[in-house]
Amino acid sequence: MNNYDVIVIGGGPAGLAAAIQAKKDGASVLLIERENRLGGILKQCIHDGFGLVRFEEKLSGPEYAERFIDEFNSLSIEALALTFVTKIKKNGDIFEIHVVNREGTAVFNCRAIVLATGCRERTAKQVFIHGTRPSGVFTAGTAQHFTNLLGELPAKKCVILGSGDIGLIMARRLTLEGCKVLGVYEAKPSPSGLTRNIHQCLNDYDIPLFLSHTVTRVFGDERLEAVEISRVDEKMRPIEGTQQTVECDALILSVGLIPENELAEELGVSMDSGTKGPVCDEKLMTSVEGVFSCGNALHVNDLVDYVSESGETAGAAAAAYKNTERTTVKLERGQGIMSLVPQMLDLNGATSSVTVYFRSADVLNNCALIIKIDGEEKFRKKYAFLRPPEMERLVIDFSAFNLSPDSKIVFETEVTSV
Amino acid sequence: MNIARIRKKVSAVSGGRVNAELKDNCIVLTGEADSWEQALEACSAAAIPYGKIHVVNDITVKKLVEKPMRMPSVCDKAIDGEKPDVLIIGGGISGASIARELTKNKLNILLVEKEPDLAMQASGRNDGEVHPGIDLSKGSLKHYYIRKGNRMYGDVCKDLGVEFRRVGQYVCFNEAWARPLIALYVLKRKYIDKIEDSEIISGKELHKREPNFNGSFKFAISNPSTGCVCPYGLTIAYAENAVMNGAKVMLNTAVTGMQVENGRIISVRTNRGTVYPKTVINAAGVFSEEIAKMAGDRFFSIHPRRGTNSILDKKAGKYMHSVASIKELAASSGHTKGGGILHTVHDNLLIGPDAVETSEKENVATNPESIEKVFSRQKNTMPSLSERDIITYFTGVRAPTFEEDFIIEKGRKCGNIIHCAGIQSPGLTTAPAVALDIEKMALEMLGGAQKNPDFNPVRKPVPTLRNMSDEERAQMIKKNPDYGEIVCRCEEISKGEILDALNSPICVPTVDGIKKRVRPGMGRCQGGFCSPLVTKIIAGFLNEPIDKVRKSYDGSVITYGSTKKGRGADE
């Protein structure tokens, strides 16, 4: 009774989509969620803008999640909420998933795992902010949890560091709750969040954005009293002598997301330094047979629509998973590519319509994505612009390229003449 | 001791600005120094290592305004009129261990701590190493207590339910030519100083034991008795056991003055009332000089010294499993070994500490230079170290005397005070042994005491479910389902463990208090996910709204109340 074809770990948008797809494809499915409700981080994302690609309408996070939860429930998929995976062991072809919850401990067996564990936020110390340890320093997601789930105001006068999307969303959200947002400071010379969020969350509310600035120090023994802000050089190092002190009672950090892959690493999954997620093939199977990855655990997405899509890809593949041998070839990041998914192709599988996601390393205008195979350009797509914060998606027919395991497939960007 | 020579030395380093004189068996330094560094240099020049005659620093420094000690915000009469047999000032490892040892006797014991929790300063900002004493020579109190203290650790930690591991220490050398010299040094340590576990191991053996260390090491001094412990965990455990056995611990309680008559303390004023102790134990860390002064018994001076440690992700914990440092023979070292790498009892790596003199006793703000310096040095020991694995860092302030030794003695001019001062590294290691001696001194002062027939040395800790087998865990959850609800995912801490901490003998219902006791928020997300949940659990426990919960100090509010407050009837 504890045996399933597919076990999905994580009940956010990726996990929900994976479980639904696997179930639709005929697999027996169990979804394990550590929180008490399904929906993942969407539960606290009460702003709109979700689902534009998939549903062609603007939904709030909970509304978007609700559509999947409704479908999940209508398919009678088994789910365990408030249940935590403590370890995963591989026993032959079977994975043993050890969990703990209020009922006790249990072990579930499956032949395929979908890891949909999401991501976590980078913290103040990980961006080397120094000084004291007062209260009032929050990651944007934590501030959002307090504001939207607990209905508690975490700040009255705040500085936001980092122009990632959650930071921008929180700038607007806190303003609406009566908090004075003094400014959003970004160490990079260009914003990290989506352009639409710069307009809708900052410009519309007269919240200033300071590029090439960062917070270097916090002050206050009890609650935060002020932050020190410095200009940074092109390598993002603070420039001595440019420090200014800004009085505030909160510092909200939106300085990057890190895919959560502690379970994956325990399973021996190979990781990619570009995405900080597992190396996957076009079916989103990791380097470990039977272990699939999707959503923000795979790579940090900026649109939930693509999170769901990758969940469906992984869910379908997990349902269809048979332990057949793969013949893989690498997809490599070349000049100008910051991240690329998938990182390999299984030549034994269907490669005629592979969904590829990539981010450029720099802001580029009038440019192109190029795929070179063994040094020869085989594919080109023009873009008016490419920006690191905006992930690009395209579908490529690799079957046309006559690939072998020895093929050297490199993705690059190129600036075309104006 | 030749005061004329000392005077000459002091005058030389201070440009004639500082004078030294022998007064009441102390070397008292007076004058006005140009800078705090100059005053420090003068005091150090006057100090006689390991002597009984201490430097008292009465030098004023131009333009240096000393910040007053931070006071708790509470002001009441909670302990007014109490007449404890023993008043212990300071809730660090010294005060807490002394309190616990004293509870073996039928005594009324009161411990006061100015901070909102125990182990908030040096004891909570310590690297947790239980030292072997390889750098200590016979003659100092540090040396006298370290061997005893180190040996006691296994039993003490077992009784108090605190995890302790003997992981061993390696002091690593790159210079093959130095081996005969170091071998002699080790023989001296082993046979003369009686640091009996000392031995030299080859580079090959070192790499067998710690394969990720720098391949260039030629040999190392090994001390297998070296251990690691959670320093604040042990302090809290000692204090909890003391409370279980009848002691009273008052947090947020600062000593502000004393009434002294005929060389005896009559009363001690605090922000929570005046108490009338029979004896007082000065375990006040960086403020022990001020306490001594209040008692009319100031015969030493403290010069604060900062140290910064970094904690690395548990993933990095796999790189090494001991305590290690590098000894570079070319560069002369400062007051500590210049920091090291330590595999903590929680399986993180700890890197540090450095040692930087400071004029500020309570400034624990961190600086980037400390981290950079320590990392660049420690990468020589283990090249795989990376700043990218850092999850947090913190600074503590040590409380050394200028003689760099402990002061563990009865008052010289005050008849009912015992000083446990000048405690710095290896003060955590020595604490169990020092506490026994201070207990003896206190009993002498009190003219003896009856044994406490109910004394129970065993403290049952909050269970750590993540370390249990599935079966054990299931049994625990059956008894209490809260043990099955994980709140902190990084450290795998359940709601049940958090509630246990709230119901422990010394309840500190703050986010930091809970974090120190059962570790939610200590992991790689640093409370990003769990801090709202922990805040909510504390609010529920206190039966107060969320905005009443604090991170630590009274002013460390987390939220400013409901977003829906005062919005009219439509809500």
Collect all residues of chain A within an 8 Å Cβ-Cβ radius of residue B387. Answer: 128
Residue A284 · residue A342 · CB < 8 Å: yes
Distance between CA atoms of B283 and B94, rounded to whole angstroms? 6
Contact state of B529 with A221 under an 8 Å Cβ cutoff: no
Q: CB of A103 within 8 Å of any CB in chain B?
A: yes
Composition of chain A by helix, strand, coil, percent to 5: 25, 35, 40
The Cα-based distances of A296 to A41, A117, A257, A308 in angstroms read 11, 7, 9, 10
ipTM comes to 0.96
Find how far residue A272's CA is from the centre of its chain. 14
* Residue B77 domain flag: yes
Q: Last residue of a domain, which of B41, B61, B81?
A: B61
Residue A153 · residue A147 · CB < 8 Å: yes
Q: Are B160 and B172 found together in one domain?
A: no
Tokens of B276: 């009338």
Q: Fill in the DSSP letter of residue A59.
A: B
What CATH number does the domain containing B497 carry?
Answer: 1.10.10
Mean confidence (pLDDT) of chain A: 96
CB < 8 Å from A in window 517-536 of B:
524-529, 531-532, 535-536
**Per-position b or e across B239-254, b if 16+ CB within 10 A of its CB:** bbbbbbbbbebbbbbb
CA distance B551 to chain A (A): 6
Composition of chain B by helix, strand, coil, percent to 5: 35, 25, 45
The Cα-based distances of B225 to B58, B228, B336, B342 in angstroms read 41, 10, 19, 14
Contact state of B485 with A101 under an 8 Å Cβ cutoff: yes
B302 phi, psi to nearest 5 deg? -105, 135
* Residue B202 domain flag: yes
Q: Are B315 and B381 found together in one domain?
A: yes
Collect all residues of chain B within an 8 Å Cβ-Cβ radius of residue A130. Answer: 365-368
B236-251 pLDDT, tens digit each: 999 999 999 999 999 9
Percent share of chain A, pLDDT over 70: 99
Question: In terms of Cα–Cα distance, which of B486, B569, B476 is closest to B529?
Answer: B486
Question: In terms of Cα–Cα distance, which of A186, A228, A174, A391 is closest to A300?
Answer: A391
> Which among B114, B392, B395, B470 is the top mutation candidate for probing chain A, defined by the most A β-carbons within 10 Å of its own β-carbon?
B470
Termini Cα distance of chain B: 79
* Residue B444 domain flag: yes
Contact state of A135 with B484 under an 8 Å Cβ cutoff: no
Tokens of B172: 């690593």
Q: Fill in the DSSP letter of residue B125.
A: S
Instruction: Report the domain count for chain B.
Output: 4
Q: Are B56 and B194 found together in one domain?
A: no
Q: Are B253 and B158 found together in one domain?
A: yes
Residue B119 · residue B515 · CB < 8 Å: no
pLDDT the model gives residue A416: 86
Kindly state the average pLDDT of the residues A188-195.
92
A206-210: Cβ within 8 A, 24+ apart: A207/A171, A207/A172, A207/A175, A207/A181, A207/A183, A208/A182, A208/A183, A208/A184, A209/A163, A209/A183, A209/A184, A210/A183, A210/A184, A210/A185, A210/A186
pLDDT the model gives residue B1: 77
A51-97 pLDDT, tens digit each: 999 999 999 999 999 999 999 999 999 999 999 999 999 999 999 99
Q: Last residue of a domain, which of B375, B394, B413?
A: B394
Collect all residues of chain A within an 8 Å Cβ-Cβ radius of residue B556. Answer: 134-135, 222-223
A111-158 pLDDT, tens digit each: 999 999 999 999 999 999 999 999 999 999 999 999 999 999 999 999
Collect all residues of chain B within an 8 Å Cβ-Cβ radius of residue A177. Answer: 563
* Residue B51 domain flag: yes
* Residue B571 domain flag: no
Enumerate the β-bridge partners of residue B419: B282, B409
* Residue B105 domain flag: yes
- Closest chain A residue to the Cα of B476, Cα to Cα: A104
Kindly state the average pLDDT of the residues B491-516.
98
Tokens of B50: 């390991």
Rg of chain B's alpha carbons, rounded to an integer? 24
Q: CB of B468 within 8 Å of any CB in chain A?
A: no
Place of tokens 């332990």: A323
Find how far residue A225's CA is from the centre of its chain. 32
Q: Is the peptide bond before A342 cis (omega within 30 degrees of 0)?
A: yes
pLDDT band at B328 (very low <50, low <70, confident <90, very high): confident
Q: CB of B74 within 8 Å of any CB in chain A?
A: no
Q: Are B413 and B403 found together in one domain?
A: yes
pLDDT band at B331 (very low <50, low <70, confident <90, very high): low
> Which among B492, B559, B562, B567 is the top mutation candidate for probing chain A, defined by the most A β-carbons within 10 Å of its own β-carbon?
B559
Collect all residues of chain A within an 8 Å Cβ-Cβ radius of residue B467. Answer: none
Helix axes B511-518, B531-542, angle to 10 degrees: 110
Structural domain for B291, as ranges = 67-164+225-302+399-461
Percent share of chain B, pLDDT over 70: 97
Question: In terms of Cα–Cα distance, which of A308, A242, A255, A392 is closest to A15?
Answer: A308
At A140, which helix (H) or strand (E)? helix A140-144
A294-342 pLDDT, tens digit each: 999 999 999 999 999 999 999 999 999 998 899 999 999 999 999 999 9
A209-248 pLDDT, tens digit each: 999 999 999 999 999 999 999 999 999 999 999 999 999 9
What CATH number does the domain containing B416 carry?
Answer: 3.50.50.60
CB < 8 Å from B in window 142-161 of A:
142, 145-147, 149-156
Partner residue facing B564 (CB), from A123, A145, A151: A151
Q: CB of B466 within 8 Å of any CB in chain A?
A: yes
B285-302 pLDDT, tens digit each: 999 999 999 999 999 999
Angle at CA of residue B221, ends B220 and B224, nearest 5°: 120
Helix axes B93-102, B427-446, angle to 10 degrees: 40
Q: Is the pLDDT of residue B335 over 80?
A: no
Partner residue facing B563 (CB), from A126, A139, A147: A147
Tokens of B135: 């750098």
Q: Is the pLDDT of residue B336 over 50?
A: no
Q: Last residue of a domain, which of B28, B61, B94?
A: B61
B25-30: Cβ within 8 A, 24+ apart: B25/B52, B25/B53, B25/B299, B25/B412, B26/B53, B26/B54, B26/B55, B26/B56, B26/B299, B26/B300, B27/B3, B27/B53, B27/B54, B27/B55, B27/B56, B28/B56, B28/B58, B29/B55, B29/B56, B29/B57, B29/B58, B29/B59, B30/B58, B30/B59
Instruction: Count residue pairs from A and B with Cβ separation < 8 A.
Output: 134
Q: CB of B78 within 8 Å of any CB in chain A?
A: no
* Residue B201 domain flag: yes
Contact state of B489 with A34 under an 8 Å Cβ cutoff: yes
Provide the pairing of β-strand B407-410 with B417-421: antiparallel
Contact state of B394 with A223 under an 8 Å Cβ cutoff: no
Q: CB of B561 within 8 Å of any CB in chain A?
A: yes
Collect all residues of chain A within an 8 Å Cβ-Cβ radius of residue B489. Answer: 34, 84
CA distance A65 to chain B (A): 20
Q: Which residues of B are catalytic?
A: 131
Q: Are B169 and B159 found together in one domain?
A: no
- Closest chain B residue to the Cα of A263, Cα to Cα: B490
Distance between CA atoms of A115 and A286, rounded to whole angstroms? 10
B129-179 pLDDT, tens digit each: 999 999 998 999 999 999 999 999 999 999 999 999 999 999 999 999 999
Distance between CA atoms of B394 and B372, rounded to whole angstroms? 14
Partner residue facing A84 (CB), from B486, B525, B536: B486
Q: Is the pLDDT of residue A418 over 90?
A: no
The two counts, helices (H) then strands (E), for chain B are 15, 26
Residue A122 · residue A257 · CB < 8 Å: yes
Q: CB of B547 within 8 Å of any CB in chain A?
A: yes
- Closest chain A residue to the Cα of B396, Cα to Cα: A132
Collect all residues of chain B within an 8 Å Cβ-Cβ radius of residue A251. Answer: none
Total Cβ atoms within 10 A of residue B568: 6
Partner residue facing A222 (CB), from B465, B555, B563: B555
* Residue B570 domain flag: no
- Closest chain A residue to the Cα of B472, Cα to Cα: A105
Q: CB of B471 within 8 Å of any CB in chain A?
A: yes
Q: Are B253 and B180 found together in one domain?
A: no
Q: Are B389 and B406 found together in one domain?
A: no
Residue B398 · residue B320 · CB < 8 Å: no
CB < 8 Å from A in window 339-378 of B:
364-368, 371
Partner residue facing B528 (CB), from A136, A139, A217: A139
Q: Are B157 and B187 found together in one domain?
A: no
> Which among B391, B560, B567 is the top mutation candidate for probing chain A, defined by the most A β-carbons within 10 Å of its own β-carbon?
B560
B40-92 pLDDT, tens digit each: 999 999 999 888 999 999 999 998 888 899 999 999 999 999 999 999 999 99
HEC string for B535-563: HHHHHHHHCCCHHHCECCCCCCECCCCEC
Kindly state the average pLDDT of the residues A17-46.
98
Q: Are B311 and B421 found together in one domain?
A: no
Question: In terms of Cα–Cα distance, which of A142, A75, A94, A85 is closest to A115?
Answer: A85
Domains along chain A with CATH numbers: 1-121+256-323 (3.50.50.60), 123-255 (3.50.50.60), 326-418 (2.60.40)
Contact state of A135 with B557 under an 8 Å Cβ cutoff: yes
> Which among B74, B466, B525, B554 is the top mutation candidate for probing chain A, defined by the most A β-carbons within 10 Å of its own β-carbon?
B525
Q: Are B111 and B217 found together in one domain?
A: no
Q: CB of A102 within 8 Å of any CB in chain B?
A: yes
Distance between CA atoms of A40 and B124, rounded to whole angstroms? 35
The Cα-based distances of A199 to A195, A204, B114 in angstroms read 7, 6, 49
Q: Are B284 and B312 found together in one domain?
A: no
pLDDT the model gives residue B66: 85
Tokens of A159: 């500085």
Enumerate the β-bridge partners of residue A244: A229
Contact state of A102 with B525 under an 8 Å Cβ cutoff: no
